[in-house]
Homo-oligomer: A and B are copies of this chain.
Amino acid sequence: MKDRVTAAETANRGKRLYDPVETRRRILDTAAGAFQARGYHATGMHEIMRDGRVTGGALYHHFPTKKALGLAVIRERVAPAVEETWIVPVRSAATAQAGILAVFEQIAADLERRGAVMGCPLNNLAHELSLADSDFRAAMDAIFTAWRDAIAERLRSEPVAAGSGDRDADALATFVVASYSGAMALAKTGQDAGRLRASARQLARLLPGPD
């Protein structure tokens, strides 16, 4: 007669956890942090194993290649981050102008509180990877597009004055994303959140609103 608890006992042999969801989460979090801090190529799989307390077997089980891990980070960590910090706030703001400026301000405040400017995760990876690999490029372009579309949609919902059609909303939304991305690049290279605020003030003049 088989002992019914054998499996469970075996599972806890040594220090194995056998919690695939948690393991996968830890790998993604560790990788996302490392890719953001050091970049994709400068991060070795071994570092992720060490920092995330996972062994090669576990890592390979969840992500067969580094590229697969990179794509998962983009889709499951970077995209939600953009959604959370940009799309949701802009959608729920009173006006597009108010929402956009509030995001700039909140991010600038975050940077100052943290004392260091890590840059935008999407842009960091986009610059490093989008030329070299088209799968990465496509994944990141999808995020940029969703980001821009969310802003454009919010802009279109405004009761605006004359002559601002759909094309204007798209172009303006693109410009908002571009301004933010570039301002973040400047802030990161200068380690100075002030550049983000200076850019926000200029952008404000362009956005429809009470000025």
Which residues of A pack against B, CB within 8 Å? 1, 3, 37-39, 41-42, 65, 67, 118-119, 123-124, 126-133, 136-137, 140-141, 144-145, 170-172, 174-175, 177-186, 188-191, 195, 198-199, 201-203, 205-206
Contacting pair B126 A188 (CB below 8 A): yes
A180 contacts which chain B residues (CB < 8 A)? 182
Q: With CB as the reference atom, state the residue of chain B lying closest to A191.
A: B137
Given A144-B186, A171-B198, A183-B178, decide whether A127 and B130 contact each other with a Cβ distance below 8 A. Answer: no
What residues on B are CB-neighbors of A178 within 8 Å?
179, 182-183, 185-186, 195, 199
- A126 contact from B65, B183, B185, Cβ within 8 A: B185
Instruction: State A133–B2 Cα separation when bound (angstroms).
Output: 9
Q: What chain B residues lie within 8 Å of A182 (beta carbons)?
A: 123, 177-185
Residue of B with least CB distance to A36: B131
In the complex, are the beta carbons of A201 and B171 less than 8 A apart? yes
Residues of chain B within 8 A of A126, CB atoms compared:
127, 185, 188-189
Does A188 contact B131, Cβ atoms closer than 8 Å?
yes
Given A39-B41, A132-B39, A186-B144, answer yes or no on A199-B175 (Cβ-Cβ < 8 Å): yes
**Residue contact A202 to B1, C-beta cutoff 8 Å:** no
- Complex CA–CA separation, A127 to B145 (angstroms): 20
The reply to whether A130 and B171 form a contact with Cβ atoms under 8 Å apart is no
Least distance between A67 CB and chain B CB atoms (Å): 7
Tell me, in angstroms, the Cα distance from A137 to B144 when the chains sit together.
Answer: 26
In the bound assembly, the distance between CA atoms of A183 and B133 in angstroms comes to 20
Contact A131-B174, Cβ < 8 Å, known A126-B185, A182-B180, A185-B126: no
